[in-house]
Structure 1
Amino acid sequence: MTKDSRAKRDARALQERTGGSYVASRRVTSQPTAARFNEDQCANCMQRLAPQIEGLFCSELCGQYASTVRYWRRIVRDGRIDNPDVRVALNVRIAHLLAGGYARRARHLPDETRAQVWRRDENRCRTCGAPGSEIDHIADDSPDLANLQLLCTACHRKKTESRMSPASNEQQQAMNKIYRERVVPDQPMLLCDDQQEWASTEAGLRAERRGRLLDELAEYGYDRREFPGYSWQDMWDAVLDEAEEDDFDANGIDDDSGFGPDSYFARAMAKDD
């Protein structure tokens, strides 16, 4: 299949899904969509990554956007998008994104805590009494047992859907844009949108970024081993703070807020007139 015929096919598919005109759909699918990835930029939003960030995304939210796009692309292509349960799962993912992301790390529960919840609730859904299947945070991200309950899949879904707020017009437009530009085209717009390529290259790209940052750290005169117990972010915060202080000292700036020996104030006071 030629590039032009593929674009026409994608345009007809996009027109059918969105209800738009063929001309508008053709304009979208004719745009170059080669997978993009720029080192030291966020793989999702393409913003410059600070050295305090060791990974490939500027935030957990951006990582979740990329993961949702890959999931969305996959279920569209394998036909599961027509399954009501799968569509609900997609809508829940999108709702989490629009709410600022899912606090995955904060909501992670140790195996011991999970076992306690199952024992306390006697393997039954706290809402309907059916066999339980999922542990639910009742109010917030707290891992306290009082904030955890066992639910069946149906009750958990019902509770999740009841808390989902309708998307604003602006949010709907943003999701439609992602759908048109990153889900519909056969050729992924970004490398992180490509399920197979991302799975095979992500670890290597992370290792390459870490290597570049360690080289940059060496240029500052430091070694990672000099910071035992420091997180990656805390280490870089300390290095950059010290570099900034050294820069101030090198330029003759002291702690008197602009009144140092090389300041405008000092030069003005030194004039005879």
Structure 2
Amino acid sequence: MDSSELIPIQRLVIAQSNPRARRVLDTEFPADVADLANSNRCFNCGELLVWEPTPPPSSRRWLFCTQHCQQQAKYVRYFRSTAKDGRQTDPGVLYELKIKRAHVLNGGYPADERRLSPETRAFVVKRDAGQCVECGGQGTEIDHLEPLDGPALNAPANLQLLCKDCHWNKTARNLVPVSPADTAAHATLARLAARCDAVTPLSFADDQERWETWRPKLTSYRRARYLS
């Protein structure tokens, strides 16, 4: 990229006591990315992000308003990248697309709520002797038995060790087809299809290459702006 295409993002404050914050706030972005960085809006839906009264606990929240928005953009990027490099003939990729799409239609996968501590993971692996409880093969993934609320969700009693294939099969069994009467779901599918099939990305968050290049700097920049 020619350096003439880059513009310095304006400093929010005259002086910063933190040298690292000064460097972050002096980051140079392409003009369109600079506008997005300064907008404080969700990179998926465009809604204004609210970070009060405290900064968000997840780095995702500097860029997206919800996990659902993050996962919509992630699905579009995955679809476009696998279509571009020809991987959509791979059954595993097709399965991943199906699961990601299903989660988007159901309001998003609750990744934050289902995140397990290393201690809990180690306990479940040891308890299940490293074996898939379905087929007896090598267990590689921890599965939630039921979508419970509160602490019970990630309690060991609600967890089991599965191999990848058994985990996939269980997830596939639980998928519910979209009803023809579900107009909201069909509208979401139509919006996703338009973004996935566009010749050029319809939004910055849909562009895999540019997103991976600038996402870390955008996260650091928005955090530095807020904490200034």
Could you state the TM-score of these two structures normalised by the residue count of structure 1? 0.61
Aligned to 1:203: 216
**Alignment gaps of 5+ in structure 2:** 1-31
What's the CA shift for 1:208? 3.1
Aligned to 2:202: 189
| Alignment equivalent of 1:75, drawn from 82, 99, 104 | 82
Structure 1: distance between partners of 2:154 and 2:225: 37
Determine which structure has greater relative contact order: mean sequence separation of CA pairs < 8 Å that are 6+ residues apart, divided by chain length. 2
Structure 2: distance between partners of 1:131 and 1:207: 39
Structure 2: distance between partners of 1:153 and 1:114: 16
Deviations 1:156-188 (A, max 9, x none): 1111011111123422342133222x1122321
| Alignment equivalent of 1:84, drawn from 81, 87, 91 | 91
Aligned to 1:115: 122
Aligned to 1:148: 159
Structure 2: distance between partners of 1:211 and 1:112: 32
Structure 1: distance between partners of 2:220 and 2:122: 36
What's the CA shift for 1:43? 0.5
Structure 2: distance between partners of 1:96 and 1:103: 9
Aligned to 1:32: none
Structure 2: distance between partners of 1:43 and 1:69: 13
What's the CA shift for 1:150? 0.8
Aligned to 2:42: 42
Query: Which amino acid in 2 is paired with 1:149?
Result: Q
Structure 1: distance between partners of 2:107 and 2:188: 14
Q: How does 1:1-273 map to 2 (within 5 A)?
A: 38=36, 39-52=39-52, 55-140=62-147, 142-169=153-180, 170=183, 171-180=185-194, 182-214=195-227
CA RMSD, aligned part only?
A: 2.0
Query: Which amino acid in 2 is paired with 1:66?
Result: A
Change (3 A) 1:132 1:208: closer
Deviations 1:119-148 (A, max 9, x none): 111111111212212110111251211111
Change (3 A) 1:152 1:211: closer
Query: Which amino acid in 2 is paired with 1:119?
Result: K
* Cα contact 2:77–2:208 (8 A) shared by 1: yes
Query: Per the alignment, in what secondary structure is the counterpart of residue 150 of structure 1?
Result: strand
Aligned to 1:239: none
Change (3 A) 1:205 1:146: same
Aligned to 2:9: none
Change (3 A) 1:138 1:55: same
Query: Which amino acid in 2 is paired with 1:162?
Result: R
Query: Which amino acid in 2 is paired with 1:210?
Result: R
Percentage of matched positions with identical amino acids: 37
Query: Per the alignment, in what secondary structure is the counterpart of residue 161 of structure 1?
Result: helix
Structure 1: distance between partners of 2:99 and 2:160: 19
**Alignment gaps of 5+ in structure 1:** 1-34, 216-273
* Cα contact 2:80–2:197 (8 A) shared by 1: yes
Could you state the TM-score of these two structures normalised by the residue count of structure 2? 0.72
